[in-house]
Structure 1
Amino acid sequence: MIRLDDQPWLKASATRAVMAALEAAGGPGCARFVGGCVRNALIGAPVADIDIATTLKPEETDRAIRAAGLKSVPTGIAHGTVTAVSERQPFEITTLRRDVSTDGRNATVAFTDDWAEDAARRDFRLNALYADGEGRVFDPTGEGVADAAAGRIVFVGDPETRIREDYLRILRFFRFFAWYGRGEPDEAALKACRELAPGMTRLSAERVSKELMTLLAAPDPLVAMAAMTDAGVLAQILPEAANGPLFEAAVGLSADPVIRLMTLFPTDERLVREASARLRFSNATRDRLAAAAAAAPAVRLTMSDPEVRAAVYRHGARTVADAVYRRWAESPEGADAAQRLLALAESWRRPSMPVGGRELARLGVEPGPETGRLLKAFEDGWIADDFPSEGHAERLAALVRP
């Protein structure tokens, strides 16, 4: 039997406390680690979240956690999930389940004590892996361990059946391939994704955007994105996107998923905002995309230092950097110029406007539209002259009394 060796999380006191609490209520073997923590431990990838499956019913899990003096949070108790908090670390614990009915978005489940039934309702074979408290690995499908080692993303059972249970699994297929896949994507899975892609319209925008952003954050999402494009899935969720050389270049320049996403769009602020609203991107992502689209005409790799400072003053350092990455992706031979612009945008500190309404009042200008016009004229000249630190009073007086 395969065992997980040298896994700090497996031996950690916080983990052992949770497993001991469950086994005190349900006996040895009632709880096993499941999914990503087992998969990642097998392939030597970092383990972030520790999920546990158990034969205990949710109410029994809750009582067992509390009886051990740990915090229990009923995060999804109707679907069998309780979160235990041990030494400030969350552990998501879910009762073994089988699907009773699904609508492609939500499932009605029944609890079971059959590990094979629980595995049969999971998405991919490499995610249907379990390990007990001693690290012994259980592979109910018989292929999960081999898939993890080979970088194969294969649905459990029939791909169409798994997708019809939850159409988000289409995006999950490409996301898992981006992170863990090697070689060519599974043909049966691609066929099912292509044929069932229209079903994604019933998914919530938040679920779709989360999967897309996680995919784009993969070290190298190019093969997954190409396959997703060929299958018509990208067009289904983001019809504005153009997956081509610009995106391919951006992947090699930055690991930032927002920069990569930016290069899928044309530099059209209105279009970007409409797409962001439809997919309900986070406010931060939406604003970055829109700002970069708006600033793009003002950013060139041939900019002088004063022009860079002017752009940073008007648009912000983050926005200028995003626009520079786009220009760099458009002209990969401009690496030296792009790196110079990025360094300057990051290091320069935007100064505050050195004059305001108070200074104009001293010159006899009454508050009103004229104040705004004069301050705007002063600011434009100050920027054009590369933010001089002296002579502000004289410049302002010259505008008031030409």
Structure 2
Amino acid sequence: MSRVLQDQAWLTAGATQAVMAALAAAGGPGCARFVGGCVRNAVLGAPIDDVDIATTLQPEAVVKALKAAGLKSVPTGIEHGTVTAIAERQPFEITTLRRDVSTDGRRATVAFTDDWAEDAARRDFRLNALYADADGVILDPTGAGYDDAQAGRIVFVGDPEQRIAEDYLRILRFYRFYAWYGRGAPDAAAVAACAALAEGVERLSAERVSKELLKLLAAPDPRPAVRLMDQAGVLGRVLPPPVGLGLFEAMVEVTDDPLLRLSALLPDDGEAVGAAALRLRLSNAQRDRLVAAVAVEADPAMSDAEARAAVWRAGRQAVEDRLHRAWAAGAEGEAVRCLLALAADWTPPRMPVGGRDLARLGLKPGPETGRLLKAFEEGWIADDFPDHGHEARLKALMAPPA
């Protein structure tokens, strides 16, 4: 009995059908199928982000077919068999069926094939080796991908250790997919293989590791997957020596922000956090945010005025992140929520005076200007940002000591 995807707007969309029709015109109606995430998520009833297509056509034939249909093509990875079609401004990644010739744990040398089972055999998990034709009819070459998706099982295609040895990123992908789609106990063979080959993650580029890790931490509840990573010795190979999972477990309860959840897996020390961010090759903005989350002074017991002062000095994001860490560490939730609301709603005013105001009062430009403006700012902040009396305050600061 055939299984068919039902009620999928992306499947029947004009752009989607135009690309599939272009490929079918060149290679016949069975030459192209949707593959991977779009099919898996359609089966699960989850949102679809990208629509990927697998085809028996060679890359050059794909380009020719798209051109004949008046569609734009971009050779995004043509040496590996991938061409991106653009239809109605939407990208569709089209990849020729492949089989692995050799792998080194990071990259694979591939050969093109027209065998759907061979293509499925090189994929990571059975629920990712699902295909569907232009009418939504599902092809399940492993014979278990559909049932795995329905049951929440993350099972490697074939031998888990062989799949991992082909690309060690699959260790992290196992935990990521378990976090997002897994239900019940994890597959024992997959767990054992990840633990046995955990050292392989150290061969991966930092960028690949951090991207996969942040995707994992964005799952609704990544705690079971992170516990598995810790037990397998994988977590300690991608992050500094763990300080325990307690703060992380609590952080999942207070925020769904993956970077903050990552923060809870790092030491409460700015220098160590900065080193970890460098090791993971995070962006400068991500690094600075992680460091600020442990370095900024923002006490859940502070007054509203102190909270406004903290936001002025450190920025809203840093104060909110520090408060979330304090909340996860055990601070009283209602107090933190009130301060978070204040930080979100309060708009810091602009500094109400500058060098021109001092010059107008007779001060010649020079180092004294900076000193007086700094003194004014500190007093203005201490008085909770009054919107009046600025000239009098400047004059008092300029007056010689009695």
TM range (shorter): over 0.9
TM superposition shift of 1:99? 0.4
Which residue of the partner structure matches residue 317 of structure 1? 316
User: Structure 2 CA distance, aligned partners of 1:109 and 1:360?
Assistant: 71
For residue 292 of structure 1, give the secondary structure of its aligned residue in structure 2: helix
Return 286-295 or 162-171, whichever deviates more. Answer: 286-295
Which residue of the partner structure matches residue 160 of structure 1? 161
What are the Cα deviations for residues 264-306 of structure 1, in whole angstroms up to 9, with x where unaligned? 12232222111111111123322211222221xx211111110
Which residue of the partner structure matches residue 301 of structure 2? 302
One-letter amino acid of the structure 2 residue matched with residue 307 of structure 1: E
One-letter amino acid of the structure 2 residue matched with residue 338 of structure 1: V
Which residue of the partner structure matches residue 280 of structure 2? 279
Cα distance, 1:284–1:240 mapped onto 2, change above 3 Å: farther
TM superposition shift of 1:33? 0.7
TM superposition shift of 1:148? 0.4
Return 281-290 or 187-196, whichever deviates more. Answer: 281-290
For residue 75 of structure 2, give the secondary structure of its aligned residue in structure 1: strand
Which residue of the partner structure matches residue 255 of structure 1? 256
One-letter amino acid of the structure 1 residue matched with residue 71 of structure 2: L
For residue 92 of structure 2, give the secondary structure of its aligned residue in structure 1: strand
Which residue of the partner structure matches residue 92 of structure 1? 93
Which residue of the partner structure matches residue 347 of structure 1? 345
TM-score (norm 1): 0.97
Which residue of the partner structure matches residue 190 of structure 1? 191
What are the Cα deviations for residues 343-378 of structure 1, in whole angstroms up to 9, with x where unaligned? 100111111111222222234433333222222111
Question: Which runs of structure 2 are paired with 1:350-369 in the superposition (5 Å)?
Answer: 350-369=348-367
TM-score (norm 2): 0.97
User: Structure 1 CA distance, aligned partners of 2:361 and 2:242?
Assistant: 54
Which residue of the partner structure matches residue 230 of structure 1? 231
TM superposition shift of 1:217? 0.4
TM superposition shift of 1:234? 0.9
TM superposition shift of 1:2? 1.0
One-letter amino acid of the structure 2 residue matched with residue 325 of structure 1: H
TM superposition shift of 1:241? 4.1
TM superposition shift of 1:329? 0.7
TM superposition shift of 1:146? 0.9
TM superposition shift of 1:240? 4.4
Q: Which runs of 5+ in 2 are unaligned?
A: none
Q: Which runs of 5+ in 1 are unaligned?
A: none
What are the Cα deviations for residues 185-214 of structure 1, in whole angstroms up to 9, with x where unaligned? 211111111121111222111111110010
Which residue of the partner structure matches residue 326 of structure 1? 325
TM superposition shift of 1:78? 0.3
Q: How many residues of Structure 1 are paired with residues of Structure 2 in the alignment?
A: 399
TM superposition shift of 1:243? 4.5
User: Structure 2 CA distance, aligned partners of 1:267 and 1:362?
Assistant: 47
Which residue of the partner structure matches residue 174 of structure 1? 175
Which residue of the partner structure matches residue 378 of structure 1? 376
For residue 84 of structure 2, give the secondary structure of its aligned residue in structure 1: strand
Which residue of the partner structure matches residue 393 of structure 1? 391
Return 137-146 or 367-376, whichever deviates more. Answer: 367-376
What are the Cα deviations for residues 205-238 of structure 1, in whole angstroms up to 9, with x where unaligned? 1111110010010011010011011111111011
| Preserved CA contact (<8 Å) 1:229 1:243 | no
Return 169-178 or 257-266, whichever deviates more. Answer: 257-266
Two-structure CA RMSD over aligned residues (Å): 1.2
User: Structure 1 CA distance, aligned partners of 2:291 and 2:127?
Assistant: 38
User: Structure 2 CA distance, aligned partners of 1:354 and 1:240?
Assistant: 47
1:335 pairs, out of 333, 355, 364, with 333
User: Structure 2 CA distance, aligned partners of 1:244 and 1:202?
Assistant: 25
One-letter amino acid of the structure 2 residue matched with residue 287 of structure 1: D
| Preserved CA contact (<8 Å) 2:240 2:266 | no
Question: Which runs of structure 2 are paired with 1:107-122 in the superposition (5 Å)?
Answer: 107-122=108-123
One-letter amino acid of the structure 2 residue matched with residue 250 of structure 1: M
| Preserved CA contact (<8 Å) 2:239 2:266 | no
Question: Which runs of structure 2 are paired with 1:42-57 in the superposition (5 Å)?
Answer: 42-57=43-58
Task: Indicate the percent of aligned positions where both proteins have the same amino acid.
Answer: 67
For residue 198 of structure 1, give the secondary structure of its aligned residue in structure 2: helix
